[in-house]
Structure formats: structure tokens, C-alpha cells
Amino acid sequence: MALILTFLGKGGSGRSSCAIAAAKKLSAEGQRVLLVTEDAGPGFGMLLGQEVTPTPTVAASNLWIAQLQFTQLLEQNWERLKKLEAEYLRDPFFKAVYGQELSLLPGMDQALTLNELREYDASGDYDVIVHDGPGDQTSLRMWGMPASIDWYFRRFKQVFQASQFSKAVMPFVQPVAGAVLSGGRGLSGDLFNQPEVQEGTNFVSQGVTAVKDPMRVRAYLVSSGDAIAIATARYLWGAAQQIELTVAGVMVNRGGNTQDFEPLPVYSLPANTDDWQPQIDALPDFMVAPAVPAPVEIDPDTSTVRLFLPSFDKKQIQLTQYGPEVTIEAGDQRRNLSLPKGLQGRSVTGAKFQSGYLILSFG
């Protein structure tokens, strides 16, 4: 399993430069590094000083680079889908549709990127994957995708199975699904627990776990001294906590007030030159576990949950409780917090905002 690093911040703040410098630093330290960019234009290759292609190519010792091209990824994944469909369906729906005919739907590029990073990680070829993405809310939606899918699956599976409709139709659906999906081999038991469904849910669960683990996925803010860049970085910091993505520090270039990001460690970057070494030297040790506030802290003994939401104030936060979950809205982010067994079935009796933390008490 690889460590995946990504960078968040306003466009033009130096995210791509930080990604390149980080990849160079880690590869020089002996880590096998893949540097992946979502920039489909020529800019990234010009900044790197080397042509970038969709296939990982050697850029230096221990360093590979790749450029994601979404139309190509769409074609590849569409053909995989058709093969799976042909394997499990007697009369495939998509056999006459070709990937070259398809256009990217909104959000599909995020799903394709996440899947490609997953496959690079699963290959075992790399120790570190450095991701150069949009670095904005789009990136956060991508990293939050596993948790969102997991919630929808759990929620609607529970609703469906508890409904009278499910109880009425499942005796008929089960044998038909067995005949269609398994080519006559037959299915038995819970349709949701079939191997094909379980494989997909396992991928999602692994993604949820990885995003919450700072030694698997980690973000760094990038900002300049510009007021808009600082405000954007702070907003993305708070939004990242909503998906439990660890923000381990902030890279500041062209000045900037370090107090805007307390208690994060701040790394001051030198001005960009043709020499990468000064910027490499200013970067942190990425292989050390970061000492930063955890996005969520649950204390069953005091029946409290602490959520670290820097850059937001209490007027921007809204709480809703449905059964065993609490929904927290902060800015443009919404998350469903699953409560541990000790707090399930108990109502929120108090909420206060203190030193960047939303503290919930349960009765």
C-alpha cells in the first residue's frame, strides 16, 4: 500500500510546483514515487521540463510520471464494464455501445481519477503516489466519494430491506436475478451479499478507511500571501475535515501570515527558480506521521464527539439527527457521522463551538 499525497489551494498558488518538489524529494530519499497529474494541458510538462504521457514513464531514478486523460480512461473502463456485463447477463444491454461514443458526465472524471489512483496503489509498484489535481472542492468531492457511496449503499439497503415492497417482491426477484445474473447457475440468500456486490462494497470500505488514515492519504494546503489565497486555503482546510481527510501542514510562498493556519505546521517556500533544490529542502519529512488535530474525536466516557472544523463559525454549521447518525453541514460540505454503539439511539443534548471544535454532547 502506498502513501498518497495531494495538495489543496487556490489556482496559481503553487500546488503543481509543490507536487513536483515533493515527488523529487521522496524519490531522492529512495522511495518509489509516481507523480500523477490531472492537468491535461502542456503546462505541467513544461514546469517539469519533461513530456508527460498517460502511461507512467521514468523521469528519474525512483520517479515515474503520468498524465490522466479522461477520455482514454472512460474507454478503458467502459470495455471492462461490457466484459463484466457479458459474463453475468445473458443479453447484455451495452454490447452495441462503444467507449469512443461516450462523453464525460459531470463527476465522472472524479470517479475515474479515484479508480486510477486505486489501481496504481493496488499494483504494489509504488511507495508514494503524489497527486496533482484541481486542489479545490472538486478534489474534496473525489476524496469524499467512498464515504458517500458507502452511506448511500448502507442507507438504501436498510430502507429497501425494511420495506413492505421488499418483502413482497424479493421471493420473485431472487430466482429471476439468479437466472439472469448468473447464467442459470442460480443465486441464493441476500441479493446484496452476492460476491459481485461484495467486491464493490469492499473497494468502497477500503477507500473510506484509507482516506481516514494519514499514513495512507494526506493533504497539504498551499497558499501565498494573497488574502484570497489564504481564505481559500482555510476554507478547504475546514471542508477537508468534513470528509476526515487529514491536512498535515501548509506550504506558504510569497509571504503570508502563519497565524492564519494555527495549529498546522507551516513551511515557508522560497521563490521559484530553475533550481528545485531550495524548494525541496523546505518541504517536511513526508514519511513521518503528522502531529495535527484529528478530524473527529469520540469519547464514550463523557458521551461527547469533537469535530475539528477550522475556518467555520457556529453560524455556518447546521446539525440534523436521523436515527443512529448526525448530519453536519458546514459551508458547502455535508457529512453523515455514524455514531458508535454506545451513542446510538441517544439524542444530541448540547452543541458548542470552541477553539475551532464543534463539541456535541449526547443525553
- Determine the longest span between alpha carbons in the chain, in angstroms: 69
Domains of the chain: 1-292 (3.40.50.300), 296-362 (2.60.40.790)
The phi, psi pair for 170, rounded to 5°, reads -60, -35
Place of cell 513536483: 20
192-215 mean pLDDT: 73
> What's the pLDDT score for residue 139?
94
Report the C-alpha gap between 72 and 99 in whole angstroms.
9
Handedness of CA 98, 103, 105, 107 (dihedral sign): positive
pLDDT at residue 198 tops 90: no
238-264 mean pLDDT: 87
Digit-coded pLDDT (tens) for 110-157: 888 888 899 999 999 999 999 999 999 999 999 998 888 777 776 666
DSSP H helical ranges for 126-274: 137-162, 164-181, 195-212, 227-242
* Strand segments (E) across the chain: 3-8, 33-37, 57-60, 63-67, 128-132, 217-223, 247-253, 266-269, 296-299, 304-308, 317-322, 325-330, 333-338, 348-354, 357-362
Answer whether 0.75 is exceeded by the pTM. Answer: yes
> What's the pLDDT score for residue 322?
75
The identity of residue 224, as a single letter, is S
323: left (phi over 0), alpha (psi -120 to 50) or beta: left
Digit-coded pLDDT (tens) for 303-342: 999 999 998 888 888 888 876 788 888 877 788 887 888 8
As a whole number, the mean pLDDT across the chain is 82
177-203 mean pLDDT: 52
Query: How many CB atoms are closer than 10 A to CB 99?
Result: 17
Closest Cα to residue 232, out of 6, 10, 40, 3? 10
> What's the pLDDT score for residue 190?
54
279-304 mean pLDDT: 92
Query: How many CB atoms are closer than 10 A to CB 47?
Result: 17
> What's the pLDDT score for residue 259?
77
CA distance readout (Å), 252 to 43, 118, 170, 214, 327: 22, 29, 57, 21, 33
